[in-house]
Structure 1
Amino acid sequence: MDEHGTQVAYWDGVGATKTFTHPVNHAWLAELNRDARILDYGCGYGRVMAELSEHGFTDVRGVDPSPALIDRGRRSRPDLRFDVMERPPALAYEAASFDVILLFAVLTCVPEDDARRALIDEVVRVLRPGGLLYVSDVPLQDDERSRDRYEAHAARSGTPYGVFATDDGAACRHHERSNLRALLSGFDVLQEREFDVASMNGHQSRAVQLLARRR
């Protein structure tokens, strides 16, 4: 793990070739003005940004700690605004700069408790009061393969149950629902839904999305 817990070496290598799949529920964003200030935190190659742009949103930008993923995004969508995060989770924006922030499959890529808390604190700083946070992530899975991975990694590394390593070297974490909600203690959860999604390595997982408003 690198200094900021961001695994940049992984995301600049094999991670830069992945396809990300968590869907956007556009009904949750239907009432927003099309000029709402939107930040995709951990945007990868800009898949969600492109989809929002195609739905008429005009002020969408993305940040990611991986230069390779940002370069991929810039090459595929030069019309969108991408920035590399130099010292994550710090963002180069003033307080209350955004109306909406998206965290799509980001928390699962930050296994450490302190790093996830710092990330959410920075999100709170740059999201205006009353702004929306849209989280898409992966809770603890109950299939045998996942349970075996959690237990083996916890026994080997002393990490919390739910942390595991992918076959190609990424450190990930699936969360208890209570853990996700505790991270959002400064928010009011407005919507929640579950769905099936393919992971970046092609395995089927049960995922969860939360739409929350900053108090």
Structure 2
Amino acid sequence: MSNWNDVAYKVEFNLEIINELLTDRLPSSSQVLDFGCGYGRITNQLHGLGFKNITGVDSSLEMINRGTNEFPYLELNHVMGTPLPFPDESFDAVISCAVFTCIRDQKIRANVVSELLRILKPNGVIYLAEFCADESVLFTSGVGVPMWHGTQADIKSIVSEFKIEKSLVINNQTMTGHNSKACHVVARK
């Protein structure tokens, strides 16, 4: 089995956030954390939307190295696990794109959400964009990385401690070209 360091220069992620779900809720001056930023693709998308106070963090050093080369103007940081190196209530928003897809263990997911709650300001926004399926499934991706595709209800349950404002499912191919679905959930603390 591979890990993200092994495939950092081979993968091209394709799940994107829906711009309006953020721009309608956040001023561009917001402090935004791209949690599990990989090589910074979503961090760069946020930058292009006019957000300037963006911090990206990822547990894969090779992904961060790739992102630093591709997007030298972004703040991308290698951070291993939790707790995150930020004070309580540091961010107006946390974006997590295809991160929980990579966290197969429910206890670890719960610990991560608890940490995201800690660093999010009151009334802060959390945006999850995750691959999903009609039934929850554990599998190994085409690049050899262990994955989980939950149902829309599974994805919403990740942020059950938040007030959900929007949840929708759209068709989206996986990074290996398989037809799939993606669940987008926006919630507030």
Normalization by structure 1: what TM-score?
A: 0.82
Map 1:1-215 onto structure 2 (within 5 A). Answer: 10-31=3-24, 32-86=26-80, 88-141=81-134, 162-214=137-189
**In structure 1, how many angstroms separate the alpha carbons of the residues matched to 2:139 and 2:94?**
27
The unaligned stretches of length 5 or more in structure 2 are none
Distance 1:193 1:181, change over 3 A: closer
Distance 1:89 1:198, change over 3 A: farther
**In structure 2, how many angstroms separate the alpha carbons of the residues matched to 1:51 and 1:166?**
25
Check conservation: 2:162, 2:187, Cα contact below 8 A: yes
Check conservation: 1:109, 1:172, Cα contact below 8 A: yes
Q: How far off is 1:44 after superposition?
A: 0.5
Greater Cα shift, 97-106 or 176-185:
176-185
Q: How many residues were matched structurally?
A: 188
**In structure 1, how many angstroms separate the alpha carbons of the residues matched to 2:142 and 2:175?**
12
Q: Could you tell me which residue of structure 2 aligns to residue 152 of structure 1?
A: none
**In structure 2, how many angstroms separate the alpha carbons of the residues matched to 1:89 and 1:28?**
27
Higher share in strand:
2
Check conservation: 2:13, 2:175, Cα contact below 8 A: yes
Check conservation: 1:49, 1:62, Cα contact below 8 A: yes
**In structure 2, how many angstroms separate the alpha carbons of the residues matched to 1:62 and 1:90?**
15
Amino acid at match of 1:200: M
The unaligned stretches of length 5 or more in structure 1 are 2-8, 143-160
Amino acid at match of 2:103: V
Higher share in helix:
1
Q: How far off is 1:132 after superposition?
A: 0.2
Amino acid at match of 2:151: E
Q: How far off is 1:15 after superposition?
A: 4.2
Post-superposition CA distance 1:119-158 (Å, at most 9, x none): 111111111110000000122246xxxxxxxxxxxxxxxx
Percent identity of the aligned residues? 28
Greater Cα shift, 39-48 or 188-197:
188-197
Check conservation: 1:141, 1:205, Cα contact below 8 A: no
Give the structure with higher Rg (CA): 1
Find the residue that maps to 1:52 and give its secondary structure.
Answer: helix
Distance 1:83 1:141, change over 3 A: same
**In structure 2, how many angstroms separate the alpha carbons of the residues matched to 1:180 and 1:129?**
22
